[in-house]
Amino acid sequence: MARPVIAIVGRPNVGKSTIFNRIVGDRLAIVEDKPGVTRDRLYGTGEWNGIAFNIVDTGGIEIDGEDEIMKSVRMQAELAIEEADVIIFMADAKAGLTHSDEEVGQMLFRSRKPIVLAINKVDNAGRMDEVYEFYGLGFGEPIAISGSHGMGIGDLLDAAVSKLPEIEDVEYEDDVIRVALIGRPNVGKSSLVNALLGEERVIVSNVAGTTRDAIDTPFERDGQKYVLIDTAGMRKRGKVYESTEKYSVMRAMKAIERADVALILINGEEGIIEQDKHIAGYAHEAGKASIFVVNKWDVVEKDEKTMQAFSQTIRDHFLFMSYAPIVYLSALTKSRLHKLLPVVNHVSEQHALRIQTHLLNDIVGDAVAYNPPPTDKGKRLKINYVTQVATKPPTIVIFVNEPEMMHFSYERYLENKIRAAFNFEGTPLRLFTRRKSDED
């Protein structure tokens, strides 16, 4: 199910990234006391009182100069208005209420989106008096917080979560493969949708997706039912979206969560850019089956080594997704298009693959016999047994005597041995180490 989205908006240097890090529980954003710092990670997931959500830090837009700051803040606000279910509007108690705060506040007020007003840097009780002037923004009672001390974060999340809408997902039959087309703008998502559906004569009606704007298109090919979750037609034209390409990841997040298989489109003509990594990384972290689809291959000047070289480039840039197959095609000319759906079927099967416990233990037992775990201060990790506890993605629990002795390199060794035996092509593999108990 797609998670609702909370966006953090505010002028530069009010502490958005610090609050973002507090909520996601990890230092995903770089915190630097300098306005306009560009960050790579703008999104994360959080949970509060049993409610899961995506959270977006809108502070990562590059600023060319002081004159551009307010324009950047307006762009952030506009994106948050467009994408978020709830907006956390942050201001700075030390700086007081500024003209920039008022201007952003007016934009957000007109949006009619649920707004939670948070005043950061209230580091002690003496600063509480500085919060009162923010009542004038018209968003009700401001919530005093301190990102550096972690004060007030619970109150902030209580308020934000209480305003989130309930999202009902469209239910499909178990045999339907849900396919999300993701990628930065201009990689050909719309063209690929049209190419896939253009050959199909049995098209069921379009269903308005529950991710607020996404279009689900069911279709059937060779007896297999699919649903294309298309983000391609969702991007508005205009300077805001052309200037903030990074935010295509916000769209991709919503589609990925509802998918079984993610098609990560790469522009074969332009090659790989950093944003491709961010979008692919979210599919990986979400545990989805994934395929790299290199589009516009028809316009690439090539010889007998071009495809091999491009594949190696993909492997070099996406080391964390070595399991994902690569398909080259042209959505425009439909060249090699016939190769795509068979790969979709294959990775979907691998994503749902369940291995019998005795087979898993045979493979892991052989791997341990061939390469025993290293010792640590005279103690050796002992692997008692292994079992698969879930699919989509395949999730395997390794029961051991001392979980803290499982080094990531040895865990990776075991994963490689499991993949060598059972393939799991196209899908992440989740391995967890737990202490064996008497009950186990």
Q: How far is CA 311 from CA 49, 245, 331, in A?
A: 44, 24, 19
Q: How confident is the model at residue 432 (pLDDT cuts 50, 70, 90)?
A: very high
Residue type, 359: L
pLDDT score of 40 more than 50: no
CB 139 within 8 Å of CB 104: no
Q: What is the rounded average pLDDT for all residues in the chain?
A: 82
Give the three-class secondary structure for 157: helix
CB 180 within 8 Å of CB 262: yes
By C-alpha distance, which of 199, 10, 14 is closest to 95?
14
The CB density around residue 133, as the number of other CB atoms within 10 Å, is 15
Alpha carbon distance 307, 81 (integer Å): 42
Q: ω before 393 within 30° of 0 (cis)?
A: yes
Task: Note the pLDDT of residue 16.
Answer: 87
pLDDT tens-digit series, residues 268-318:
988 888 878 878 888 998 899 999 999 999 989 888 899 999 999 999 999
Task: Note the pLDDT of residue 158.
Answer: 96
Q: H/E element holding 275?
A: helix 274-285
Alpha carbon distance 105, 89 (integer Å): 8
The CB density around residue 128, as the number of other CB atoms within 10 Å, is 12
Mean pLDDT of 351-378: 94
pLDDT score of 187 more than 90: no
Alpha carbon distance 323, 291 (integer Å): 9
Task: Note the pLDDT of residue 419.
Answer: 96
Q: Which domains does the chain have, with CATH numbers?
A: 5-162 (3.40.50.300), 177-350 (3.40.50.300), 357-435 (3.30.300.20)
Q: How confident is the model at residue 214 (pLDDT cuts 50, 70, 90)?
A: low
Task: Note the pLDDT of residue 291.
Answer: 98
Give the three-class secondary structure for 190: helix
In sequence order, the 6+-apart residues with CB closer than 8 A to the CB of 433 are 397, 398, 400, 403, 406, 411
Task: Note the pLDDT of residue 247.
Answer: 52
In sequence order, the 6+-apart residues with CB closer than 8 A to the CB of 355 are 388, 394, 422
Give the three-class secondary structure for 207: strand
Residues annotated within the binding site for GTP are 10-17, 57-61, 120-123, 183-190, 230-234, 295-298
Token pair recorded at residue 238: 């205009």
- CB-based burial label for 330 (10 Å; 0-12, 13-18, 19+): buried
Q: How confident is the model at residue 1 (pLDDT cuts 50, 70, 90)?
A: low
Q: How confident is the model at residue 324 (pLDDT cuts 50, 70, 90)?
A: very high
Alpha carbon distance 179, 256 (integer Å): 8
Q: H/E element holding 229?
A: strand 224-230
Task: Note the pLDDT of residue 317.
Answer: 93
Q: Burial code of 101-118, b = ≥16 C-beta within 10 A, e = fewer?
A: beebbebbeebebbbbbb
pLDDT score of 6 more than 60: yes
pLDDT tens-digit series, residues 48-64:
998 888 888 876 444 34
Q: What is the DSSP letter of 42?
A: -
pLDDT tens-digit series, residues 74-129:
666 677 677 789 999 999 998 899 888 888 888 888 888 999 999 999 988 777 88
Measure the CA angle with vertex 331, ends 326 and 334; round to 5°: 100
Residues annotated within the binding site are 10-17, 57-61, 120-123, 183-190, 230-234, 295-298
pLDDT tens-digit series, residues 151-166:
999 999 999 999 998 7
